[in-house]
Amino acid sequence: MNESRPNAMAILRERGYRVTPQRLKIYNALWNAGSHPTVIEVHQRAIKEDPTISKATVYKTLQLFTEIGLAVEMGFRDESTRYDPEVDGHINLICTQCGSVEDYDGIDLSSIKNGVEKGMKFKIFAHRFEVHGLCSKCQAK
């Protein structure tokens, strides 16, 4: 079930971005930071390897990583927090290109929630299921 570590250097090259020591160190920091580090945590970890790495660079780099699939962002960086009154749930399809959000409710989420509640002894109050990618319109472009 473990995921193998992507080759950040190769992926950067592929997409036409430069490979810099900062980017590699920030990727190390992200990968080693355990689960779901904040920007600040990534920065603190990165400056242990190179104390000159700035917070601004970490911000910029993590955004880049998100664009090229080296990281998933938890939350919307560019705006204030969003809230959803539809608490019973569906899957949100978020287009990373145009920002549109579609709903998908063609799947029975209750069995999934059941599995989690029983398997993990976790009491669920709410959930959020999102996929990030390209909507049909943006694929056509």
Partner DNA sequence: TTATATGCAAATCTTTTGCAAGGAT
Partner DNA sequence: ATCCTTGCAAAAGATTTGCATATAA
Which residues would be at the binding site for DNA (CB under 7 A)? 13, 17-23, 38-40, 50, 52-57, 59-61, 63, 75, 77-81
Q: Which of residues 44-83 bind a copy of itself (CB under 8 A)?
A: 62, 65-66, 69-77, 79-83
For a copy of itself, the closer of residues 20 and 100 by Cβ is 100
Q: How far apart are CA 104 and CA 19, in angstroms?
A: 38
Cβ proximity to DNA, 78 vs 86, nearer residue:
78
With respect to DNA, which residue has the nearer C-beta, 20 or 139?
20
133-137 long-range contacts, Cβ below 8 Å, gap at least 24? 133/93, 133/94, 133/95, 133/96, 134/95, 134/96, 134/97, 135/93, 135/95, 135/97, 135/98, 135/100, 135/102, 137/95, 137/98, 137/100
What residues between 21 and 40 interact with a copy of itself by CB under 8 A? 27, 30-31, 35-40
